[in-house]
Amino acid sequence: MTRAFDRNRLADAKPAVLAPLAETPFHPRLAALALTNDWYDWAGFKAPASLADEELEYFAIRSTAALFDLSPMTKYCIAGPDAEAFLNRLTLRDVSKLAVGRVQYTAWCDDEGHVLDDGTLFRLGRDAFRLCCQERHLPWLLDGAARYGVTIADETEAVAGLSLQGPVSCALLRAAGFAGIETLKPFELRAFPHVAGEVVVSRTGFTGDLGYELFCPAEEALSLWDRLAVHGERHRLRVIGYSALNRARIEAGFIVANADFITADTALREDRVRLPDEIGLDWMIDPAKESFNGRRAILAARETGRLRHALVGLEIEGSVPAPLAIVYHRRKREAGLITASTWSPFLKKTIAIASLERPFGVGVVDDLWTEIYALHELAYSKLMKRVKIVPRPFLRLPRRIATPPADI
């Protein structure tokens, strides 16, 4: 039976571009704190860039405790008797080595070895996993799973997430009744009782600091928020937006999909895609692992020297950040592009992540410059600043891995 064409119904339909952004389960609490009204679109969700003061939000990460809404992050539930085999075929790292109750930072590629995304893989049980990432991949995942005994479900909306970061984050969780949280090791996860269900807490984060990520059913989100907020004032807890988090993640040297590299399925030009070795993920690859997406192409590129790019850390002289600035060799020849940059209050330096065209960043590492256009009083000043290649992460904090964390 063919459905009749209804012009009136079509006229009343709201164009997708005008559809309002979705609100996360924590939005009522965020909206009450959003003095700046500074929102942005994160994967179709309304998310805060800042809530009150970006500087204070950053210093909460490094000095006390900071709370960030992770709910818009894409989350897939992957389960079934072949879940391990499927994920081992999909991702770069060896999933058979991932124990139950552990988390693995990983990435996955297309058949040509180009990176599709990076993310975290949580092993919740023998045959149950949660894959968290930046982009949406459900059709591609389902196609790849056709021959495996596995089910894949998008649980982005069903599962709410919070990131609690900072030197007093462990003390706050302990005060909130998460008994034994101080024994949780980096990249370890554990379920804790909450209301009639549970909260899964992992010792992970995107700041390079002591921190945790908490996941619960969306319907229990506000009760989880309030459970933490009760102890927030005593522990100087501050809710933060992405601007502060982004500054901390640059200090930690972490990369962001479609910011520091273009994902293979969104790149419009062939020369925009990246192999794992070209974005600093070469350490993930074990040539002894027999089969994973892109293996043949990745190893062939290594053998034939077809690696064209290098992702590097930079220190920039002066105090002016240089996001999306061009890097030059000897002030003349273009060597690459700065993908992320910030002034680090902790390090008292201007730092950056840059994608350079080889041999720059590998064989050629000296006499590099960047061109910055600094805005002062309605006028731009062109600045040529020397840059120096330095290791990432820029910031290493012993408390990030100390177990148990210091009792603050």
Which tens digit of pLDDT belongs to each residue from 81-113?
999 999 999 999 999 999 999 999 999 999 999
Per CATH, which fold does 74-154 belong to? Alpha-Beta Plaits (3.30.70)
Could you say which DSSP state residue 276 is in?
G
ω before 15 within 30° of 0 (cis)?
Answer: no
Q: Which part of the chain has CATH 3.30.1360.120?
A: 18-73+158-240
* pLDDT tens digits along 367-381: 999 999 988 888 889
CATH 2.40.30.110 correct for 270-274+308-390? yes
* Alpha carbon distance 281, 304 (integer Å): 18
Buried b (16+ CB within 10 A) or exposed e, 282-319: eebbeeebeebbbbebbeebbeeeebebbbbbbbbeee
Q: What is the pTM of this model?
A: 0.93
What is the per-residue pLDDT for 270? Answer: 85
The rounded distance, in Å, linking the Cα atoms of 240 and 176 is 20
Q: Where in the chain is the domain with CATH 3.30.70.1400?
A: 74-154
- Closest C-alpha among 158, 168, 134, 137 to residue 215: 158
Residue of 82, 124, 130, 88 lying closest to 108 (CA atoms): 88
Residue range 58-68, pLDDT digits in tens: 999 999 999 99
Q: What's the rounded Cα separation, in Å, for the pair 224 and 218?
A: 10
Specify the CATH number of the domain 18-73+158-240: 3.30.1360.120
104 exposed, middle or buried (CB, 10 Å; 0-12, 13-18, 19+)?
A: buried
Q: In angstroms, what is the C-alpha Rg of the chain?
A: 22
Ranges of the chain whose pLDDT falls below 50: 1-7, 9-10
C-beta of residue 168 within 8 angstroms of C-beta of residue 64: yes
Chain center to CA of 223: 25
Q: What is the pLDDT of residue 10?
A: 46
278 annotated binding-site participant? no
Q: Give ranges for CATH 2.40.30.110 in the chain.
A: 270-274+308-390
